[in-house]
């Protein structure tokens, strides 16, 4: 792995200390086949976590980064979906809820092509996987070609995107829809409140939350939120996880989810060129998705992208970090890029205490500095926005965000997220994607091209 070993590592003492700390988190959270987000709060394999983790692992071991993604893809359903959780059978059912016996994937999901083993959830998470696979390949192309990495994963990733662009185009507008607040990864964002009001919550005695054993109630979604999450899972499961048979009380088009699909389609095009396959179909899809994103989700008055509620076919008037992440898309109109940067650096999202990006506008009516995705600043969305700023040549803003990220990651002991107004660490500590993306910002080539 000469090309990996020859890559220069950070030399400043503080950066070396941070790099060692981040590497230790990933080593400690490795299970032998994949990496748990947290040994306590999240003891299984999560979908977009593993993608972010692989992006960081490529700086330590390209082989392990490949294994991280291939482990996840081994649980892919026959219909193409990549489930948001792959359950470790060695972990007791009561360690996490909803547990495998609640999802019943191998039975309820059989018509949709769920594997007999391992047990998984039946919903999905944002499609960052193809981008991760391409970055892992680029970390050591010689090793990747020798092991046939892209040849193995590219068809699976293409099937994943086929599922999203086919069965999940529930609005008919060319974008992928999400059918549960857990799917866009921003579980209890105020963006979902309008749609969740329509969901009758499950009875309190129908479930027992395991997350409160390790997380403070002030940080976590409320019991009412959880009751609605459980109801949505139950209804989807009882419909056999069939996207067309299910009655989707909750269905929205999310900007971040679709922006990642755009970038990952471009990564698939790059993979196709590398493996001498047809790249044109993926480039065309990325172009079409960008047009649909602009047509369906851009709000010029607000200066950011909005969530579209498919039940009412209206944009949701909440200012969330999901509306800024489409900076990732490389071919946005210049005036849209300028508006997004103005919004990012303006009073709604400028958090001077951390230099990170709150998950919901500081000025918003539902802002809560501590509660999960209703205000706290997350490291993965900061990484996405940093990449978007670099994509559009906004190097000064990108560098400011990178410095803020690295400072807070080290100060918070690689926390899951932080209070954007004080910098106080919240959620789990020694969180894997925080550590992985710290490694990436310390080690990645600043000239690395966007696929």
Cβ neighbors of 61 (< 8 A, separation 6 or more) are none
Under 8 Å between Cβ of 235 and 246: yes
Under 8 Å between Cβ of 204 and 231: no
| Dist. CA 50–CA 58, nearest whole Å | 12
Structure tokens of 126?
Answer: 């944002």
Structure tokens of 127?
Answer: 């499609």
Cβ neighbors of 267 (< 8 A, separation 6 or more) are 130, 131, 133, 134, 451
Q: Give, for 260, the enclosing helix (H) or strand (E).
A: helix 255-274
Q: What are phi and psi of 390, to 5 degrees?
A: -65, -35
Q: How many helices (H) and strands (E) does the chain have?
A: 17, 11
C-alpha distance from residue 232 to each of 195, 246, 258, 419 (Å):
12, 10, 22, 29
| Dist. CA 43–CA 46, nearest whole Å | 9
Residue (of 195, 187, 225) closest to 315 by Cα position: 195
Residue (of 194, 119, 124, 128) closest to 157 by Cα position: 128
Strands (E), 306-440: 308-309, 314-315, 377-378, 417-418, 425-426
Pairing of strands 314-315, 308-309: antiparallel
Which positions are annotated as active-site residues? 187, 416
| Dist. CA 188–CA 225, nearest whole Å | 7
Q: What are phi and psi of 151, to 5 degrees?
A: -60, -35
Residue (of 103, 165, 170) closest to 308 by Cα position: 170
Count other Cβ atoms within 10 Å, centred on residue 436.
33
């Amino acid at each position: 792995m000469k090309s990996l070993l020859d890559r220069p590592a950070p030399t400043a003492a503080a950066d070396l200390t941070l790099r060692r700390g981040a590497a230790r988190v990933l080593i400690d959270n490795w299970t032998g086949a994949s990496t748990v987000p947290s040994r306590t709060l999240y003891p299984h394999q999560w979908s977009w976590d593993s993608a972010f983790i692989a992006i960081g692992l490529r700086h330590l071991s390209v082989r392990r980064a490949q294994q991280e993604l291939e482990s996840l893809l081994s649980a892919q359903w026959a219909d193409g979906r990549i489930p948001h959780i792959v359950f470790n059978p060695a972990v007791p059912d009561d360690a996490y809820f909803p547990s495998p016996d609640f999802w019943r994937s191998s039975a309820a999901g059989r018509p949709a092509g769920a594997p007999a083993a391992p047990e998984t959830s039946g919903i999905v998470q944002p499609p960052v996987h193809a981008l991760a696979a391409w970055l892992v390949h680029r970390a050591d192309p010689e090793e990747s070609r020798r092991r046939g990495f892209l040849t193995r994963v590219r068809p699976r990733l293409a099937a994943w995107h086929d599922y999203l662009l086919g069965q999940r185009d529930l609005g008919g507008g060319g974008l992928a829809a999400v059918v549960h607040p857990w799917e866009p990864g921003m579980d209890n964002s105020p963006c979902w409140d309008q749609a969740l009001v329509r969901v009758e919550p499950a009875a309190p005695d129908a479930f027992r939350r395991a997350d409160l054993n390790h997380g403070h109630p002030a940080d976590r979604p409320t019991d009412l939120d959880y009751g609605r999450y459980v109801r949505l899972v139950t209804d989807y499961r009882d419909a056999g996880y069939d996207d067309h048979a299910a009655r989707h009380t909750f269905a929205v088009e999310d900007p971040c989810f679709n922006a990642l699909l755009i970038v990952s389609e471009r990564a698939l095009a790059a993979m196709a060129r590398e493996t001498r396959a047809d790249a044109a179909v993926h480039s065309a899809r990325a172009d079409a998705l960008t047009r649909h994103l602009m047509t369906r989700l851009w709000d010029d008055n607000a200066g950011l992208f909005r969530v579209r509620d498919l039940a009412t076919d209206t944009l949701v008037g909440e200012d969330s970090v999901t509306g800024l992440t489409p900076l990732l898309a490389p071919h946005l109109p210049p005036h849209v890029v300028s508006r997004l940067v103005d919004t990012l650096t303006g009073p709604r999202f400028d958090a001077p205490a951390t230099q990170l990006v709150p998950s919901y506008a500081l000025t918003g009516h539902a802002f809560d500095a501590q509660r999960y995705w209703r205000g706290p600043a997350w490291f993965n969305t900061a990484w996405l926005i940093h990449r978007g700023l670099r994509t559009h040549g906004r190097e000064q803003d990108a560098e400011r965000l990178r410095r803020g990220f690295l400072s807070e990651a080290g100060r918070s002991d690689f926390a899951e997220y932080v209070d954007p107004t004080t910098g106080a660490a919240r959620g789990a500590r020694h969180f894997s994607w925080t550590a992985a993306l710290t490694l990436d910002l310390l080690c990645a080539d600043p000239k690395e091209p966007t696929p």
